[in-house]
Amino acid sequence: MSDVRPSRHTPIIVSIVIALMLAIAPMPGWADAFRPAWVVLTLIYWSMTFPSSYSVGAAWISGLVLDVGQGTLLGQHALALSIVIYITVKFHLQLRQFPMLQLMATVFAFLAIYQFVLFWINGIVGISVPANTYWGPVIAGTIVWPLVSALLMNVPQRVRR
């Protein structure tokens, strides 16, 4: 019998893959504008928790996969994710100390930066998108942040058992 143990990175990578699947999964037209930015929320959490392992490189790769999955301009989400995750890693020690309401406000700002970069790139390319497509994910992501952080908080402990 072999002693096969999962890597400590496996549950984190699985959570990022699940976030990518949630971001690509089809939704009804009316609800698609309010889809939370699952990948951004997941990467913000993991980059605050493990900043040396999951930082800009993981954000860039996840962004490229998201670009291919959604059929958007290649590098658009990769750039936006990299900027947000860079800021998160830069201030991860302060972010860990924030109470939940202050952290929700910070996540709101991160999601707004992410959507602004997407808006800026779409503007340069000449793609016009309704405003609710940008503000919907920011508001929905801020609302679901406590749920995402609560779900991801116990992932490494469950694997160790």
Q: In the structure, what pLDDT confidence band is assigned to residue 132 with cuts at 50, 70 and 90? A: confident
Tokens of 46: 């993991």
Confidence of residue 157 (pLDDT cuts 50, 70, 90): low
Distance of alpha carbon 111 from alpha carbon 51, whole angstroms: 18
Residues 42 and 26: beta-carbon distance below 8 Å: no
Judged by phi (left if over 0) then psi (alpha if -120 to 50, else beta), residue 148 lies in alpha
Residue 16 in this model has a pLDDT that exceeds 50: yes
Reported confidence tier of residue 3, pLDDT bands at 50, 70, 90? low
* Position 102 pLDDT exceeds 60: yes
pLDDT beyond 80 at 152: yes
What is the number of alpha carbons within 13 Å of residue 14 lying toward its C-beta? 10
**Quick one: average pLDDT of 38-56?**
95
pLDDT at 155: 79
Tell me the average pLDDT across 11-33. Answer: 92
